[in-house]
Amino acid sequence: MNKIFKTDYSPSQVDAVLLVLRAAVAALMLTHGIPKLQMLLSGGEIQFPGVMGLSPGFSLFLTIFAEVVCSIFIFFGVVTRLAVIAPMITMLVAVFMIHGNDPFINKELGLLYLSLYLPLLILGSGKYSFDLVLKSI
């Protein structure tokens, strides 16, 4: 019963949770980014909103960078704190600009992703990552 109320965790436990969080959020975000990459590579007309004065094509490119490239970095724990910044910005744009006037249900997923990226920004990737290897170089 005491384990239910435990609040002190070993560094190994925190590192394991960070590994699972990194892998999960990156893999799930790839399911959003890969279809966008396929849309870009198909050569067809780009159906994507341009934001902040950017063209639809460039907005799509930045979104693909955040959702695919950064997700791969996050998955493997490579420059994780830096890699989560682009997806966080993408989620902020999605929530407050793309879905700004929409009901909350349309903003919920973006806010959920944003909340999952925040611990990675603060805590980094943990021991089970390439960041640890890069740190020792």
Structure-block tokens of residue 96: 């407050």
Would 86 be classed as within a structural domain? yes
Question: What domain range is 81 assigned to?
Answer: 11-132
The percentage of residues in the chain with a pLDDT greater than 90, rounded to a whole number, is: 76
Per the domain annotation, does 137 fall within a domain? no
Residue 58 inside a domain? The answer is: yes
17 belongs to a structural domain:
yes
Distance CA 36, CA 69 (A): 12
Angle value at C-alpha 52, between 49 and 58, nearest 5 degrees: 55
User: Which has the closest alpha carbon to 129: 26, 49, 9?
Assistant: 26
The conformation of residue 101, written as its DSSP 8-state character, comes to T
User: Which regions in the chain score pLDDT beneath 70?
Assistant: 1
Q: How many domains are contained in the chain?
A: 1
Let me know if residue 37 belongs to a domain. yes
Q: Is residue 5 part of a domain?
A: no
Amino acid (one-letter) located at 16: A
The per-residue pLDDT for 131 is: 86
